[in-house]
Structure 1
Amino acid sequence: MAGTRAFDGTTRAELAERTADLQRVKAEYDNYRRRVRRDRLAVRHVAVANVLRELLPVLDAVERACAHEPMTPGLREISETLRVRSGALGLVAFGEVGEAFDPSRHEALAHLVSPSCARLTCTAILRPGYRVGDQLLRPACVEVTGPR
């Protein structure tokens, strides 16, 4: 046949070698893209956590204002907007009366002794704790009651 050339053994070997090279480069590039995507997500998570950590004093001030001032429409809107927007970024408040005391999540500021308690229990939440995903931004400050 004119214009067609039969592949000899050398040509087949070169083709196989180039194909293997191309597959290797493609695999390296795919791994690079996955690594870059993972690194970008990690940087985003760190940035979001840092911004939210800096906003915690603002959240505390708004909560104190809501507790001690007459609730005006403006204060209600500020409080609701902060709560919704920070929640959309993954901020979760924690610390409930009756929870078992967990030193990895709670900071005990007062300890009351009660022989009727078998374990340390949070009996007052003095300041809520916050987390983003599994990352603790601030422990909850609590009063605990329990045995000696």
Structure 2
Amino acid sequence: MTEKPRAADPGSAGSAPGGSAPAGQSSDEPRVVIRNNRKISEAEGSDTAAADAGSDVPAEGLVQDAEVVVDEIEVEATPAAGPEPAGPPVVDAPAEPVSGAGAPALGAELEALRAELDERTRDLQRVSAEYANYRKRVDRDRGLVTEQATGAVLAALLPILDDLDRAREHGDLVGPFGTVAEQLTTALGKFGLSPFGEQGDPFDPTRHEAVAHQTSAEVTEPTCVQVMRRGYQIGERLLRPALVAVADPE
């Protein structure tokens, strides 16, 4: 009678008790179990005795080559591992304060940066002040050029104004001619032209040009007693002095 006992599971030879996976094998991989049967003769007992006696000649009926019959392959799937439990949150360690040899170097670098910032600030202030002065200079020069150009044009018209004054003294500024004379005087006044020099004004050598001198008991200071030609100015600028006769006190 041939008996097919179940051989030991080769996959469980190196496994730990309880069906744990052998070393080097991942727990989430399926495990393959091979069951084999071998044919044993009826004289198994005598074969075992001959093997124990150390005989070199095999006993009768000894099966030299055991036939391994793979009759069943069992695949045992281990349950998939669930998500690993979350560990404690990772907290970044606070930055350690700079100490030791790095602190003096950092302090020196900060001082250098502050010095450079102060220098650049002073440069900016200096450039801003220079630009402001430049603008003031340009505006002043522009005004002077405009005033000089206007003065040159008005100076060319002063002889016409002198003729109008003489005609006014003689009573010739009447009718349309008088109207035109008034309009011309008004138009020139819009450019800042203003006459000065009237009889009885105190003598001012910066504005009056004396062409005659006399003494008088009626004055207490040098006084313009006669105006031969009126003077003109543009704003505060003297365009032409007035020609006058001056009376000094006795």
The two structures have a TM-score, normalised by structure 1, of: 0.74
Structure 1 CA distance for aligned equivalents of residues 173 and 188 of structure 2: 23
Structure 2 residue 41 is the aligned partner of structure 1 residue 41: no
Could you tell me whether the CA contact under 8 Å between 1:92 and 1:132 is conserved in 2? yes
Higher relative contact order (CA 8 A, sep 6+): 1
Q: What is the 5 A alignment of 1:23-102?
A: 28-68=130-170, 69=172, 71-73=174-176, 75-102=177-204
Amino acid aligned to 2:245? E
1:25 and 1:70 map into 2 onto residues whose CA distance is 60
Which residue in the other structure is 2:219 paired with? 117
> Partner residue of 2:233?
131
**Highest Rg: 1 or 2?**
2
In structure 2, give the amino acid aligned to 1:142.
V
| CA deviation vs aligned residue, 1:62-89 (integer Å, no higher than 9, x gap) | 222333325121x123211221111111
SS in 2 for 1:137: strand
Contact 1:63 1:79 in 2 (8 A): no
For residues 119 and 233 of structure 2, what CA distance do their matches in structure 1 show?
52
- 1 CA distance for matches of 2:234 and 2:189? 9
Instruction: Give 3-state SS (helix, strand or coil) of 2:247's partner.
Output: strand
Write the distance in 1 (CA, Å) between the matches of 2:118 and 2:218.
78
Amino acid across the alignment from 1:106: H
Counterpart in 1 of 2:58? none
- Aligned residue in 2 for 1:3: none
Aligned length: 142
AA in 2 matched with 1:52: L
> How many angstroms apart in 1 are the aligned matches of 2:221 and 2:123?
64
RMSD over aligned Cα, in angstroms?
2.9
Equivalent position SS for 2:198: coil
Give the distance between the partners of 2:121 and 2:188, measured in 1 at CA: 51
Scaled by the length of structure 2, the TM-score of the pair is: 0.47
Q: Which has the higher helix share?
A: 1
Q: 1:109 to 1:27 in 2, by over 3 A?
A: closer
Secondary structure in 2 matching 1:97: coil
